[in-house]
């Protein structure tokens, strides 16, 4: 789960760098806002919400004491994959 979250953040950083020449250097909780600003009209509200939900799980997943379930992990990875697919389309210019 942790690696999927980090991958989503990395995709968001790649998009931000590609479209605005900047990178989110603040809290990860701001990554969706920074990405929205970088993308402007290209921003997809559904994908930004997906990213925000994924990143919202970061602290509990990486620093929490409760082990996630297999179902939670599958759902989180699926959300990260959907975000990654969208990000890859934008990065490739499609």
Task: Give me the number of domains the chain comprises.
Answer: 1
**Could you list the pLDDT tens digit for every one of the 94 residues in the chain?**
999 999 999 999 999 999 999 888 878 888 999 999 999 999 999 999 999 999 999 988 989 888 889 999 999 999 999 999 999 999 998 6
Long-range contacts of 8-15 (CB under 8 A, 24+ apart): 8/51, 8/54, 8/55, 8/80, 8/83, 8/84, 9/55, 9/58, 11/83, 11/84, 11/87, 11/88, 12/51, 12/87, 14/87, 14/91, 15/39, 15/87, 15/90, 15/91
Domain that holds residue 60: 2-91
Taking the complete model, does pTM exceed 0.85, yes or no? yes
């Amino acid at each position: 789960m942790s690696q999927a979250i980090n991958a989503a953040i990395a995709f968001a950083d790649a998009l931000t760098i590609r479209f605005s020449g900047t990178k989110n250097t603040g809290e990860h909780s701001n990554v969706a806002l920074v990405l929205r600003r970088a993308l402007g009209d290209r921003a997809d509200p559904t994908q930004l919400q997906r990213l925000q939900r994924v990143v919202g799980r970061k602290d509990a997943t990486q620093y929490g004491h409760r082990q996630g379930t297999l179902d939670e992990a599958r759902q989180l990875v699926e959300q990260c994959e959907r975000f990654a697919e969208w990000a890859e389309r934008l990065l490739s210019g499609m």
